[in-house]
Amino acid sequence: MGWNRSEYRYKIKRDSAKFGIIIRSTIQKAIYAINAPNELITPISLFSDKKKSAAIKDRTQLYTELLIDPAYSILFSHNDEKLYNEVKQQVLAHKSVYNIYFGSAFCIAEYDNEPDEIETEKVKITKSEVISVIDLNYVKEDINWDANTKMITDNIPYLKDPDLTIRKYKQVIYNPLAEPINCSGDFYHYKDNKYIYLFEGSE
């Protein structure tokens, strides 16, 4: 959206927004050794000052875990209709002020397929297919643990302080093969008898 980094926390408030994540490709990971420069050197400074060329040789090897060909659908809703429409116009037009990326500015992302807008409502389901990442505490008692389905749990950042310090994590569960999880509870209807979980509120 081109907002200042500090603005996001105040514009996209947890009490006003809903988020969901659908994993669309099998999660595969690889660990690479990346030779990172110890000093941040931009192309402009590198070519304008020949003395800088020696500094780029001073590096530290960092072992980094990367995802291979990741693909997700990001679900977003907001109580502020004006703000929601601003975001919607950008997404439906495949536009962004800065490059979108996965976690690190080195991992550039891009729009895929055609983003769309859906109308949904929360309904009670019993042993139905949920295709999104789910808050584990929300479904601990209602998930089909006997199903022949691969499931992984993980912790993700959920709330941050103004200085971007992480204040709260959420324990989530998902299928790394990009397949549904069978469970019961109150979920939002998606498409074709599929359901999604949306993170909402500050709790």
Range of the domain at 77: 5-30+68-200
Number of domains in the chain: 1
pLDDT in tens, 129-164: 999 999 998 887 778 777 778 899 999 888 877 777
- Do the Cβ atoms of 101 and 66 come closer than 8 Å? no
- Do the Cβ atoms of 118 and 190 come closer than 8 Å? yes
Mean pLDDT of 60-71: 87
Residues 152, 162: Cα–Cα separation, whole Å: 31
Establish if 162 belongs to a structural domain: yes
Establish if 124 belongs to a structural domain: yes
Establish if 61 belongs to a structural domain: no
Establish if 136 belongs to a structural domain: yes
pTM: predicted TM-score of the whole model, two decimal places: 0.80
Establish if 48 belongs to a structural domain: no
Establish if 156 belongs to a structural domain: yes
Establish if 80 belongs to a structural domain: yes
Average of per-residue pLDDT values in the chain: 84
Establish if 135 belongs to a structural domain: yes
Per the DSSP assignment, residues forming a β-bridge with 88 are none
Closest among 30, 98, 37, 118 to 70, alpha carbons compared: 30
Phi, psi of 56 (to 5 degrees): -70, -15
